[in-house]
Amino acid sequence: MKKQSWYLVGLAVALVATSAFLYLAHYAIFRDAHHIYIYLMGDLAFLSIEVLVVTVIVDRLLSGRDKRMTLEKLNMVIGAFFSEVGTELLRRLCEADPDSEGKRGDLDVDGTWSDREFRAMRAEFESEEFKVDSRQVNLYSLRDLLVRNRDFLVRLLENPLLLEHAIFTDLLWAVFHLTEELESRASLDSLKPGDMDHLAGDMSRAYGLLAREWLDYMVHLRANYPYLYSLAMRLNPFDPDARAEIA
């Protein structure tokens, strides 16, 4: 950082010196200071407009385009996550939710859902309680699912695009932590109540983050990729009867 600062200072000095040298050369050749002052004042007067155009308008346009491209790439990463592990994990956690029936009714997403309905459900999710009864989960099967995809999750965590999406980063950490918790136990049989409650807390944390991220991802698919949205609706993890086949 310090080296870069000195480089910028040196560049500024060099540019000013070059400008001064050219003005002096102009005066030495033409001996017309009046002409120099006229153009100098004109350039200074136009400088503020140039700053407005270059640093405000153009910079914001380019930044907006770069941000859209970054978000598009990030949504591709999120899509890969749900395709590989997220949708299946969400389905299993939902099955162990004591209030799964209520959530299934609320999240009967289909092609008729509007942006308003998605926004209303997302706002409701902020105060929604996501609980998992760990005693209703096949811990061995869940552990196998997560361990099998651990390398994939690690690669996602290494992706620099996650700096643009703190919520998805939190989701990955929650899933990765649940993986470690399950894998660290020598046996998942006959766990003590305190241990089961601890796992239930880890599952509930991942469950809530998964559900919210899934809903946001559905909004993205609906707006940009209708064909992917169609498949995602048919594979709704909150629907126990979900099938890819079209009736």
> What pLDDT, in 10s, does the model give residues 38-92?
777 767 777 777 767 667 666 676 666 666 776 778 888 888 999 999 999 999 9
The pTM for the full model equals 0.71
Given a contact cutoff of 8 angstroms between Cβ atoms, the answer to whether 206 and 178 are in contact is: yes
Q: How many C-beta neighbours within 10 Å does residue 210 have?
A: 24
pLDDT per residue as tens digits for the range 166-203: 888 899 999 999 999 999 988 888 889 999 999 999 99
CA trace torsion 19, 21, 25, 27 (10° rounding): 70
Given a contact cutoff of 8 angstroms between Cβ atoms, the answer to whether 156 and 175 are in contact is: no
User: Tokens in use for 69?
Assistant: 């491209």
Mean pLDDT of the chain: 82
pLDDT per residue as tens digits for the range 195-224: 999 999 999 999 999 988 998 888 888 888
List C-alpha distances in Å: 117 to 89, 160, 172.
Answer: 25, 32, 27
> What proportion of the chain, given as a percentage, has pLDDT over 70?
86
> Distance from first CA to last CA of the chain, Å, rounded?
61
Q: Give Cα 112 distance to the centre of its chain.
A: 26
Calpha distance 100→125 (Å, rounded) = 14
Written as one string, the DSSP assignment of the chain is -HHHHHHHHHHHHHHHHHHHHHHHHHHHHH--HHHHHHHHHHHHHHHHHHHIIIIIIIHHHHHHHHHHHHHHHHHHHHHHHIIIIIHHHHHHHHHT-TTHHHHHHHT---TT--HHHHHHHHHHHHH------GGGS-HHHHHHHHHHTHHHHHHHHT-GGGGG-HHHHHHHHHHHHHHHHHHH-S--SS--HHHHHHHHHHHHHHHHHHHHHHHHHHHHHHHH-HHHHHHHHHT-TT-TT--SS--
Given a contact cutoff of 8 angstroms between Cβ atoms, the answer to whether 33 and 27 are in contact is: yes
Given a contact cutoff of 8 angstroms between Cβ atoms, the answer to whether 148 and 183 are in contact is: no
> What proportion of the chain, given as a percentage, has pLDDT over 90?
26
